[in-house]
Amino acid sequence: MAFALADNVGTTSANFLKILPHARPAAMGEAYTALGDDEGTLAYNPAGIADGYETEFSATHIDWFQTIRLEHLGAVLPLGRWNRRGAVGAYLTWLQVDSMNRTVRDNAGAASPWTVSAASEVFRRTTWPRA
């Protein structure tokens, strides 16, 4: 579980992670942990991709207000198509803001802030011998 808590708004990092790049978890109010079985579950319950049968690719482009753009690329590749041995998954999320004026004590100019989040996961399904 992750959350952000700050006394001063705008002083924390990684707030872009609150922008949901997938429609299905967003529509469910982020109650997606138990249901996730696609590329979108990498951010909620990465082990959920181990049950997938299909190769999946996902690409999202979100134009937010004030020239804020979010790009998301993700993929899930199953290991063993019919015997469900596990899966490999990865995603990259990129947030960029157009050039804006910045002011600091000694210097003024333009800045173009950006940030990135990436992850890769490998899951192998294990079986236990019957007694």
pLDDT digits (tens, 9 = 90+) for 96-117: 888 777 666 666 677 777 788 8
Q: Answer whether 0.85 is exceeded by the pTM.
A: no
pLDDT digits (tens, 9 = 90+) for 8-49: 545 556 677 778 888 888 888 878 777 777 888 888 787 778
Is the CB of residue 78 less than 8 Å from the CB of residue 51?
no
Max Cα separation, the chain?
A: 73
- What is the distance between the alpha carbons of residues 20 and 93, in angstroms, rounded to a whole number? 10
SS3 state at 106: coil
Is the CB of residue 115 less than 8 Å from the CB of residue 97?
no
What does the angle CA 42 – CA 60 – CA 43 come to, to the nearest 5 degrees?
15
Is the CB of residue 119 less than 8 Å from the CB of residue 72?
no
Q: What are phi and psi of 96, to 5 degrees?
A: -140, 145
